[in-house]
Chains A and B, each alone.
Chain A
Amino acid sequence: MKFRIKNFLAIGEKKTFVEILEIVRLAEKANASLSGMLANPGGSALSIGNEDIRLLEKKSDEITFRIKGDIENGAVSSNILDNLLACVDVADSIVDDYYYVSRELNRMAGVRFDGSRSEHTADFDASLTKMLKLAADALAILETSLTSDGLEKIHELRMDIQRIEEEGDNIKDAGFDRLYAMASEMHYLQFTHFSELLHKFDDVLDACEDISDLVVTITTSISR
């Protein structure tokens, strides 16, 4: 029925945040699966993890499609429409990135290198695991931010995510320094593999920061 006060008490913006939260939770699950894949790189753990993340990514796409429809037809101020849509897209991109990484891990597991070349992986895996842990922390903070009702609290949480992102940047930079130092001893496939993973994990942290920025912009815009 169109003749109504649209979600007047439900608040379109809050409803959208709750829906974005669903994607963030999927990203947290994907993060956990990926951590498991990195911890157990052999056997069936990789393919099982890959399949789990594929399903999460599919679900995330469905939710994204649904939320975008809700935003465009819902009780949402038109001046924040673009920011809300961007928020949804960025959240979905996190799950997409995890799926991309899981497929990359799965593919790489099938490649066999000689002894000297496989020594380096443990070192890089440790860096990647640290970045995944940081992403898990950032996603948890994002979850709190999306359910918070205080502007100051949201600003504080944004600062926390920014600090985590900077920490991730340092790990990524150190990882690249090491990667380039070892480049001559590595197979080109290993080089591009670790380079790609470092970039993708950094993208996830950047996305968390972007979402927290957008949450600040949106909440400030509608409440002041």
Chain B
Amino acid sequence: MQLWELVSAGVFLAVALVSGNNLSACVGTAIGSGVVSRRFGTALGAAGYVTGLLVQGPNMALAAQALLPNQSDFTASAALFVTVVVFVFGMAARVPLSLTMSLVGTLAGISIAGRLPLDHAFVLTVVATWFLAPVVSIAATFFLLRSLGAFKPKDIWLTVRAYKALLIGLSFFTAYTLGANTLGLVVAIGAFSPLNVALAVSAAIIGPVYFSRAQLTRIGRDFFSLRYSNALVTLLASTVLVELATLFAIPLSNTQTLSAGVFGAGVSYRRKYISARSFLVVVVGWVVAPLLGFLIGLIL
């Protein structure tokens, strides 16, 4: 097997896994709240991924270049496969490890080990964003929900209808930002060649169909059994943050901003019912994923 074939296989595998696993984060709220059927939600998510990947995905080539300068087929395929292994390990251990974070960690590790001219300023910006984004997400959902709490709708059903329409739109845009940011970065590692883009597009459709069922059921019903307003604000904060990051070509995990948003929604209530342990596991995943990727990247 040629190295470029390995790169393409890595792109396909990574895109399929992340698009399947993260579908619940994008459309789980809409499915869990019963606004759309599972099948429609899957199609909505896949459409968002593909649109985001094609429209803004190429932006992430800047990030790939900064994190893995002078990339070769060997380094690209190694980075992609390490990331896939870390991600699968996380799935098997039921620990939410972000692919974006482990990928960035792996790229930085490979660059340092290979003495490549890694853009340290960019790495620092990425790390700072990872610290800042959850804080902003928590603060945004907290204040938005507090403001919404004071809102007294005149017509309940009109309000519910508006929430549901917005939820569908935001589900699409959340998938769009994931397609643009995370999937864009994955494809950028392997280069935005017609073959890689075609493989990524097909993986972005296949992944949600074959790799999302268990996550959708669990997260759609449990994690995202939120009020419409909570779901809406959480998705909004997450989507805006990831879109802003994409504009600056900064890799940012949707699940990170989304989990932080859910936590923000929880603390926005005067009576707080939050599973601090679950949130702590998620936070530990934010630290473990990039470090694990970085260490493996260094060893390679």
Query: Do A and B assemble together?
Result: yes
A residues with CB within 8 A of B: 2-6, 8-9, 11-14, 74-79, 149-152, 154, 219, 221-224
Cβ-based interface call for B117 (8 A): no
Q: Which residue of B lies closest to A12 (CB)?
A: B34
- CB nearest to B155 among chain A residues: A149
Measured CB to CB, the nearest residue on chain A to B226 is: A79
Instruction: Tell me, in angstroms, the Cα distance from A154 to B154 when the chains sit together.
Output: 11
The 4 lowest CB-CB distance pairs between A and B, nearest first, are: A78-B225, A77-B33, A75-B34, A223-B156
Partner of A78, one of B32, B38, B164: B32
Q: Which residues of A contact B36 (CB under 8 A)?
A: 5-6, 8
Considering the complex, give the chain A residue whose CB is closest to the CB of B153: A223
B39 within 8 A of A: yes
- CB–CB A3/B43 < 8 A: yes
Q: What are 28 A-B residue pairs whose CB atoms fall within 8 Å in the complex?
A: A2-B38, A2-B39, A3-B43, A5-B35, A5-B37, A6-B36, A6-B37, A6-B40, A8-B168, A9-B161, A11-B161, A12-B34, A75-B34, A77-B225, A78-B220, A78-B221, A79-B33, A149-B154, A149-B155, A149-B157, A150-B154, A151-B153, A219-B156, A222-B156, A223-B163, A224-B148, A224-B153, A224-B229
Q: Which B residues, 27 to 47, have Cβ-Cβ distances below 8 Å to chain A?
A: 32-40, 43
When chains A and B are docked, how far (Å) is the Cα of A163 from the Cα of B211?
A: 55
Q: Which residues of B contact A8 (CB under 8 A)?
A: 35-36, 161, 164-165, 168
Inter-chain contacts of B165 with A (CB < 8 A):
8
* A13 CA / B39 CA spacing, docked (Å): 21
What residue of chain A has the Cβ atom nearest to residue B154's Cβ? A150
Chain A residues within an 8 Å CB radius of B158: 149
Contacts of A78 in B (CB 8 A): 32-34, 220-221, 225
Cα distance A149–B158 when bound, in Å? 9
Q: Are B35 and A75 in contact (CB under 8 A)?
A: yes
Residue-wise interface mask of B (204-232) relative to A, using a CB-CB cutoff of 8 A (1 in contact, 0 not)? 00000000000000001100011111000
How many residues of chain B get a CB closer than 8 Å to chain A's CBs? Answer: 34
**Which residues of A sit under 8 angstroms from B114, Cβ to Cβ?**
none
- With both beta carbons as reference points, the residue of chain A lying nearest to B32 in the complex is identified as A78
Q: In the complex the two chains form, what is the Cα distance from A78 to B32 in whole Å?
A: 6
Contact A79 B40 (CB under 8 A): no
- Closest beta carbon of chain A to B138's beta carbon, Å: 20
Q: Does residue B160 face the partner (Cβ distance < 8 Å to A)?
A: yes
Give B229's nearest chain A residue, CB to CB.
Answer: A224
CB of B159 closer than 8 Å to a CB of A: yes
Check B153–A79 contact: CB distance below 8 A. no
User: Nearest chain A CB to B222's CB is how many angstroms away?
Assistant: 9
- Give complex CA distance A222, B217 in Å: 22
If A8-B35, A222-B163 are given as contacts, then 14 extra A-B residue pairs at C-beta distance below 8 Å, sorted by A number, are A4-B40, A6-B35, A12-B34, A14-B160, A75-B34, A75-B164, A77-B33, A77-B228, A78-B33, A78-B225, A149-B158, A223-B159, A223-B160, A224-B152
A224 touches B151 (CB 8 A): yes
Residues on B with beta carbons closer than 8 Å to the beta carbon of A75: 34-35, 164
**Which residues from chain B contact A149 at a C-beta distance below 8 Å?**
154-158
Name the A residues within 8 Å of B151 (CB-CB): 224
Choose one: A4, A6, A152, A222; the contact of B160 (CB below 8 Å).
Answer: A222
In the complex, residue of chain B having the shortest beta-carbon distance to the beta carbon of A9: B161
Give Cα A159 to B159, complex, Å: 24
Compute how far the CA of A208 lies from the CA of B6 in the bound complex, rounded to whole angstroms: 67
Residues of B within 8 A of A219 (CB): 156
Alpha-carbon distance between A213 and B168 when the two chains are bound, in angstroms = 30
How many whole Å from B298's CB to the nearest CB in chain A?
Answer: 44
Q: How far is the CB of B121 from chain A (nearest CB, A)?
A: 44
In the bound complex, how far is the Cα of B154 from the Cα of A8, in angstroms?
20
With known contacts A77-B227, A78-B225, A150–B156 Cβ distance under 8 A: yes
A79 to B220, CA, bound (A): 11
Q: Are A79 and B37 in contact (CB under 8 A)?
A: no
Chain A residues lying within 8 Å of B154, measured Cβ to Cβ, are 149-150
Expressed in whole angstroms, the Cα–Cα distance for A219 and B160 within the complex equals 9
Check B37–A224 contact: CB distance below 8 A: no
* Closest CB in chain B relative to A110 CB, distance in Å: 50
Q: How far is the CA of A74 from the CA of B164 in the complex (A)?
A: 14
Question: In the complex the two chains form, what is the Cα distance from A150 to B225 in whole Å?
Answer: 24
Choose one: A4, A151, A222; the contact of B227 (CB below 8 Å).
A222
